[in-house]
Amino acid sequence: MRFKDKVAFITGGGRGIGRAIALGFAREGADIALGDINKTDTDKTCADIEAMGRRGLSIEMDVTNPGSVGEAINKILDKFSKVDILINNAGITKDNFLLRMSDEQWDAVLKVNLSGSFNCIKAVAKPMIKQRSGKIINIASIIGIIGNAGQANYSASKAGIIALTKTAAKELSGRNVNVNAVAPGFIETEMTARLPEELKKKMMQAIPLGRFGSPDDVAAVCMFLASEDAAYITGQTIVVDGGMVMA
């Protein structure tokens, strides 16, 4: 019960990696606020969290809209009076080769993945600074480290998240707020389910541990980073990829 009496806010928390993170924190005692553009999924995850005996809050929100993010934080503070943990997980892909990538594809991905994380960090930083404690975890990707053909927008957004993590860590460390990133490799979710079988086969060959990751593999590292065991870690990006990328 590492997170008893803690409040965790997870964006894009209705399904995939976000849902696994939410259920993981709830299992270890946290109350959970879930923010997602589609409330159908968060309502279901919220019901599952309440069935575990925790308090849950399902919020329809758009991370790209600072007003919507601000309203979400107010709802969380109204219900729980504080926010201890933010997981910036909401993310999208709109793949295309560089020369064919439209401005819309570029802007949409940067807006959700990078600006969305910035908006949420900015909004939770105020209550966390006041509390003099907080843990912020940003979900990046190994693609933000190594790049990937067809993902100029996604790779730039995830590399931006890694840099944003370092700056936020430097700015907030004086107020006891740790900011770290997790960079997953290939994790089995709806986002990766739509990739061609041929590409999946090729990826599998590049994974030394010989399997794709599960959302729970990512959740476990988020929980470690939000725990007191990681009190002396800030500004770091932890790669969770079965060994695909080694520095």
The binding site for ligand NAP (CB under 6 A) comprises 11-12, 14-18, 36-38, 41, 61-64, 89-92, 112, 116, 139, 141, 184, 186-187, 189-192
Whole-number Å distance between alpha carbons of 4 and 54:
10
Name the minimum Å distance from CB 4 to ligand NAP.
26
Pull the structure tokens for residue 121.
């960090």
Q: Find the catalytic residue in 3, 154, 186, 212.
A: 154
Residue type (1 letter), 16:
G
User: Whose Cβ is closer to ligand NAP: residue 62's or residue 84's?
Assistant: 62
Name the minimum Å distance from CB 174 to ligand NAP.
28
Name the minimum Å distance from CB 40 to ligand NAP.
8
Dihedral-angle region of residue 9 (phi above 0 means left; psi in -120 to 50 means alpha; beta otherwise): beta
Whole-number Å distance between alpha carbons of 241 and 218:
9
- Give Cα separations from 219 to 33, 156, 167, 230 (angstroms): 16, 23, 23, 15
User: Whose Cβ is closer to ligand NAP: residue 191's or residue 220's?
Assistant: 191
Catalytic: 154?
yes
User: Whose Cβ is closer to ligand NAP: residue 129's or residue 145's?
Assistant: 145
So which residues are the catalytic ones? 154
